Amino acid sequence: MNIHEYQAKALLRQYGAPVSEGRPVLRPEEARVAAQSLGGPLWVVKSQIHAGGRGKGKFLGAPADAKGGVRLAKSVDEVEENVKQMLGATLVTIQTGPAGKQVNRIYVEAGSDIKRELYLSLLVDRATSRVAFIASTEGGMDIEEVAHNTPEKIKTITVDPAAGIQAHHGREIAFALGLNGAQQKQCVKLINTLYKFFIEKDVAMLEINPLIIDGDDNLKCLDAKVSFDSNALYRHPELAELRDETEEDPKELAASKFDLNYIALDGEIGCMVNGAGLAMATMDIIKLYGSEPANFLDVGGGATEEKVTEAFKIILSDPNVKGILVNIFGGIMRCDIIANGVIAAAKAVNLNVPLVVRLEGTNVELGKEILANSGLPIVSGDNLADAAEKIVAAVKARKA
């Protein structure tokens, strides 16, 4: 689960990390009060969307020389003007895709005097099975290019989970960032704070870019991107209210309510599969036969008729879907039960695209018989390759 920058900064502030004063703004008429309460003389008006690259982003329909999604303002009037321009507009960044994201919240923040922009992040490093800090002197808006062109400028420091965070981690990072004595002390403290926050809140990724040296030579977190491990959210009821459902794909949101593992993709063949590995294999084989999957969907081991129906509804709510491939292995679940579930679901959703079903496992013959006698135009696949070939052919035939 991702949260907005202003929410991340509020959490970091609670933990004692240095962040600027700011006010979230949801309506244009709140802008003046927010700006006045911060005092100035410099403000930054920041679009809040769940995507990075806002500073270099462009608003849809804005003139070519218009400013991006993060703007400096030198007066209360200027703050208000920018809030009005940005609220409701659609911001396109390298991370949003060409459709962009609508800006529904703004963060008006006190402007900082920036001497240096550094990069700092924390993540779970799967290679070492540890929490890792990533630090670089080359912070700011081009970190992806730095990683690509000059990877030696990026330093990784992992933390032994048994020993936990130690002062030497902070000192190593301070050294990598080229900090002076006073900043080094601040850095050790910040590294401790961020690690504590990361562990206590089950954070999956925390990125501070830029971490700055400000005009008074102090460290400050000027941007904050946080995502939490969704599997651990049940331990943090206090975080649930930070969820912004408008930022999520409505299909993925519906899937999460029915405990379905669904990821929307760009292709045309909807997939309904049990087991993540089988789902991956199904997506691969659709590509092999010359089409593209419209989604990843793992209905899980105990897929009930209700779940299967919801899965169908979600798949079909995607206008790109031109055909569906159901690929189910009946292990614990019997194929005849799955067949009945598929038929009930197909009837419930008024299925209007080709449907190919491949069943394997317990009671497979009975399952196939139920499908064949359903009176519905369901095509049976004998194996994974056969099923994939059939659905790709059926979709092509319809287009022709």
Kindly state whether residue 112 participates in binding ligand ADP, applying the rule CB under 6 A. yes
Kindly state whether residue 70 participates in binding ligand ADP, applying the rule CB under 6 A. yes
**Choices 107-115, 152-160, 244-252, 316-324; region in contact with ligand ADP by CB under 6 A:** 107-115
Which residue is catalytic, options 207, 310, 360, 389?
207
Kindly state whether residue 223 participates in binding Mg ion, applying the rule CB under 5 A. yes
Q: Give the contact letters, 209-228, x = binds to ligand ADP (CB under 6 A), - = no.
A: xx-----------xx-----
Name residue 316's amino acid.
Answer: L
Catalytic-residue membership of 119: yes
Q: Which of 44, 174, 315, 339 binds ligand ADP (CB under 6 A)?
A: 44
Catalytic-residue membership of 195: no
* Residue 349 contacts residue 318 (beta carbons within 8 Å): no
Residues 6 or more apart whose Cβ sits within 8 Å of residue 277: none
CA 136 to the chain's CA centroid: 24
Name residue 178's amino acid.
Answer: G
Q: Taking each helix axis from N to C terminus, what angle separates 181-200 and 5-15, rounded to the nearest 10 degrees?
A: 110
Residue 8 or 392 having the CB closest to ligand ADP: 8
Half-sphere exposure for 352 (CA within 13 Å, toward CB): 7
Kindly state whether residue 20 participates in binding ligand ADP, applying the rule CB under 6 A. yes
Q: Which of 20, 48, 209, 363 binds Mg ion (CB under 5 A)?
A: 209
**Choices 50-58, 152-160, 228-236, 332-340; region in contact with ligand ADP by CB under 6 A:** 50-58
* Residue 269 contacts residue 323 (beta carbons within 8 Å): yes
Residue 51 or 188 having the CB closest to ligand ADP: 51
Residue 211 or 308 having the CB closest to Mg ion: 211
* Residue 356 contacts residue 381 (beta carbons within 8 Å): yes
DSSP string, 237-284: HHHHTT--GGGS-HHHHHHHHTT-EEEE-SSSEEEEESSHHHHHHHHH
Signed CA dihedral, 302, 307, 308, 312: sign only: negative
Which residue is catalytic, options 119, 247, 310, 389?
119
Return residues touching ligand ADP (CB under 6 A).
20, 44, 46, 52-55, 70, 109, 111-112, 114, 117, 140-141, 209-210, 222-223
| Residues annotated as part of the active site | 119, 207
Return residues touching Mg ion (CB under 5 A).
209, 223
